[in-house]
Amino acid sequence: MSAELYIGLMSGTSLDGVDAALVQIGDGALQCLSSAYLPYSPSLRDTALSLHTPGTDDLHRANLLAREVAEIYAQVVNELLEQAGTEARHIKALGAHGQTVRHNPAAGYTIQLLNPALLAELTEITVVADFRSRDIAAGGQGAPLVPAFHDATLRHPNEHRVVLNLGGIANITDLAPGRIARGFDTGPGNMLLDAWIQRQRGLDFDMDGAWGATGTPQTSLLERLLSHPYLQLPPPKSCGREEFNLGWLHGQLGGHETPEDVQATLVELTASSASAAIVRECGTPDMLLACGGGALNSHLMKAIAAHMPDTLVTTTDSAGLPGDWLEAIAFAWLAHRTLHGLPGNLPAVTGANGERILGAIYPR
Please write the tens of the pLDDT for every residue from 277-332: 999 999 999 999 999 999 999 999 999 999 999 999 999 999 999 999 999 999 99
CATH number at residue 62: 3.30.420.40
- Give the structural domain span for 21: 4-140+324-362
Residue 294 lies in a domain: yes
Task: Specify the pTM.
Answer: 0.92
Domain-located, residue 146? no
187 located within any domain: yes
Q: Is residue 355 part of a domain?
A: yes
- In terms of domains, do 60 and 176 share one? no
Question: Could you tell me if 175 and 296 lie in one domain?
Answer: yes
pLDDT score of 218 more than 80: yes
pLDDT at 14 over 90: no
Residue 1 pLDDT more than 70?
no
Q: Say whether both 170 and 265 belong to one domain.
A: yes
Residues 233 and 265 in one domain: yes
93 has pLDDT over 90: yes
| 249 part of a folded domain | yes
Listed residues 284, 302, 319: the one ending a domain = 319
* 256 in any annotated domain: yes
228 and 118 assigned to the same domain: no
- 33 falls within a domain: yes
- Which pLDDT value is given to residue 12? 86
Instruction: Give the up-direction half-sphere exposure of residue 301: CA atoms within 13 A in the CB hemisphere.
Output: 19
Residues 353 and 240 in one domain: no
Residues 133 and 221 in one domain: no
Residue range 341-363: average pLDDT? 97
For residues 55 and 175, membership in a common domain is answered with no
Average pLDDT, rounded, for the chain: 96
Q: Are residues 108 and 43 in the same domain?
A: yes
Are 88 and 169 in the same domain? no
* Residue 302 within a domain: yes
- Is 79 in the same domain as 114? yes
Number of domains in the chain: 2
pLDDT of residue 187: 97
pLDDT, one tens digit per residue, over 23-51 is: 999 988 999 999 999 999 999 999 999 99
Residues 15, 132 within the same domain: yes
**Percentage of the residues of the chain whose pLDDT score is greater than 70:** 100
